[in-house]
Amino acid sequence: NDPLFPKNFMWGASSSAWQVEGAVNEDGRTSAIIDINSKKKKPYTDNSITADHYHRYKEDVKLMAEAGFSSYRFSISWPRIYPDASGVPNQKGIEFYNNLINELKKYNIEPIVTLYHYDMPVWVDEMFNGWYDRGIIEKFDEYVRTCFREFGDRVKYWLSINEQNMQICYGEWLGVCKNKDTWFEDKWKVNHIMNLCHAKAVIACHELVEGGKIGPVPGYVPIYPYSANPEDQIAAMNAEELTEKVWNDLYAHRKYNGFIQSYWKENNINPGIQEGDMELIEQAKIDFFALNCYRSNTAKACDINEEPQEYLLNKSGVKGNLIFPKVPGLYQLTYNPFVEYTDWDWEIDPVAIRYMLRYVWDHYQLPMMITENGYGAYDKVSPDGKVHDPERIKFLRDQIYQMGLAIMDGCEVISYNLWSFTDLLSTGNGMAKRYGLVYINTTDEELLDLKRIPKDSYYWYSNLIKSNGRN
């Protein structure tokens, strides 16, 4: 029997501003650091155009409504709201999000809004050396307060910082690390400043948004032990601590856990905690966990005498081009013989989502929503003019089924938002790696007409929504 989903369960999809909007120089928006990084890629896949959602949001929202969506998770672009250091918000930027939110509301689609998804304004980056200088806390607070004041009358669900854990773990790749040589220690200082920004957002949301709810968005990758060797079990626990549990414990329990405190001590790391910081964090009581989950990882023991190795993600899109990290004395990651892999070496593992929901529910007893989950592939338009994506349908069906089992296991899950609604710019792979339910007619090499073509998965998902999760 298919699992049953709660009556008011919200079904939708997800995006982020810099990956979908385009229009980077319009209506007063100034550059974000991610614009510069994405421009290093091939023509047209830089984010100045991408899916052109900024100009076509009405068409996109209509397609969501036709598929029966009850939620849409997107992010607000900081440099649209504050293009410079003047402290004066940009009315045109505010207007765009007002229009988008109103359009969603027209069709009874609940907006779920991320405050920060990698698009730090260049002026902020220059002023505070990214997240290194505590001065950013005040500016972030100013920005989120403006968002709550302007949109809080219609937006109930807010998300603070997208995948803070991933930004720290893959600091260089996601542009957070400014100096590789000192990152081993710096990352914890930067992370602490991000924690304070997260805390500010939580506090301000509760202060300014009537009935507002806010949560963090960890990128969650369950970690399995490679074997029944007890050392592999401990290695999996170590990996889980250093890639996610440290963050989730902080969000939910509002203090640094024992593992990280002794890790800092052993490694002589000063995380830069100042007087009053922990009191601020203590006040930041989250309402739910928003979880991004695509895959699982597998860990085994790593001898203390091994050479350290950093995680080199597969950017080639050809299987088998991944270099696993090694953290001597703690863990190393490895391939899992029990799962299949995508072309970018991401594990295809539907059980991961059930594991994650069970784990987070057991540890924190907070409601959860899925804010990202999806299948990146080389989609193509067939000669019949359609886009057939059976692998994506299979991936999503299996994931949703496992999410249903987690609900049957007792987990409280309120919404599922797959990544992504339309094709959009991949973080690491331009338009080559597509996730959308709706195809965008453009390629890495050539700017085409950007026509929206619903893929087979769009129609399949629409049917699934109509039957509230049965398929």
Residue 47 binds ligand BGP, judged by CB under 6 A: no
| Closest chain position to ligand BGP (CB) | 426
Verify binding: residue 372, ligand BGP, rule CB under 6 A.
yes
What contacts 20, CB < 8 A, 6 or more positions away? 50, 51, 53, 74, 420, 422, 424, 425
Q: Which of 52, 150, 163, 244 binds ligand BGP (CB under 6 A)?
A: 163
Q: Does 162 bind ligand BGP (CB under 6 A)?
A: yes
Catalytic residue among 240, 241, 244, 372: 372
Structure tokens at 17: 């501003």
Q: Nearest approach, Cβ of 217 to ligand BGP (angstroms)?
A: 8
243 binds ligand BGP (CB under 6 A): no
Compare residues 4 and 323 and give the one whose CB is closer to ligand BGP. 323
- Closer CB to ligand BGP, 219 or 350, in the complex: 219
Q: Are strands 297-300 and 331-334 parallel, antiparallel or unpaired?
A: antiparallel
Is residue 428 within the footprint of ligand BGP (CB under 6 A)?
yes
Point out which span in 147-155, 161-169, 190-198, 232-240 binds ligand BGP (CB under 6 A): 161-169
User: Of the listed pieces 128-136, 160-168, 329-337, 406-414, which binds ligand BGP according to CB under 6 A?
Assistant: 160-168
Instruction: Respond yes or no: is residue 163 known to be catalytic.
Output: yes
Whether 412 is catalytic = no
Other C-beta atoms within 10 Å of 108: how many? 10
Site mask, ligand BGP, residues 49-88, x = CB under 6 A? ----------------------------------------
Closer CB to ligand BGP, 152 or 325, in the complex: 325
Residue 430 in the binding site for ligand BGP (CB under 6 A): no
Cα 461 to Cα 471: distance, rounded to the nearest angstrom: 9
Q: How far is the CB of 304 from ligand BGP (least distance, A)?
A: 31
- Ranges assigned E (strand) in 256-362: 289-292, 297-300, 326-327, 331-334, 340-341, 347-348
Q: Does 427 bind ligand BGP (CB under 6 A)?
A: yes
**Which residues, in sequence order, are bridge partners of residue 440?**
452
Q: Are the C-beta atoms of 51 and 439 separated by less than 8 Å?
A: no
Smaller CB separation from ligand BGP, 16 or 77: 16
Range in contact with ligand BGP (rule: CB under 6 A) among 142-150, 220-228, 403-411, 426-434: 426-434
Which one of the listed residues 163, 240, 241, 347 is annotated catalytic?
163
Which residues, 6 or more positions from 81, have their beta carbon under 8 angstroms from its beta carbon?
A: 89, 90, 93, 94, 143, 146, 147
Q: Which is nearer to ligand BGP, 18 or 288 (CB)?
A: 18
Token pair recorded at residue 373: 């989950």
Q: 278 by DSSP, 3-state: which? A: helix
Residues in the interface with ligand BGP (CB under 6 A) total 14
Helices vs. strands in the chain: H and E counts, helices first: 16, 16
**Of residues 426, 442, 457, 462, which one binds ligand BGP by CB under 6 A?**
426
Longest Cα separation, the chain: 65
- Please give the Cα distance from 252 to 337 (Å, whole number): 34
> How far is Cα 22 from Cα 53, in angstroms, rounded to an integer?
7
Tell me the C-alpha distance between 403 and 427, whole Å.
25
Please give the Cα distance from 119 to 16 (Å, whole number).
Answer: 9
User: What span, in angstroms and rounded, lies between the C-alpha atoms of 43 and 38?
Assistant: 10
Query: Would you count residue 292 as binding ligand BGP (CB under 6 A)?
Result: yes
∠ at Cα 153 (292, 247), nearest 5°?
30
376: contact with ligand BGP by CB under 6 A: yes
- Selected from 29, 80, 139, 433, the binder of ligand BGP by CB under 6 A is 433
Site for ligand BGP in 15-44 (CB under 6 A): 16, 19
In the bound state with ligand BGP, the residue whose beta carbon lies nearer, of 226 and 294, is 294
CB 44 within 8 A of CB 442: yes
| Residue closer to ligand BGP, measured from CB, 427 or 457 | 427
> What is the Cα Rg of the chain in Å?
21
Annotated catalytic residues are 163, 372
Site residues for ligand BGP per CB under 6 A? 16, 19, 162-163, 166, 219, 292, 372, 376, 419, 426-428, 433
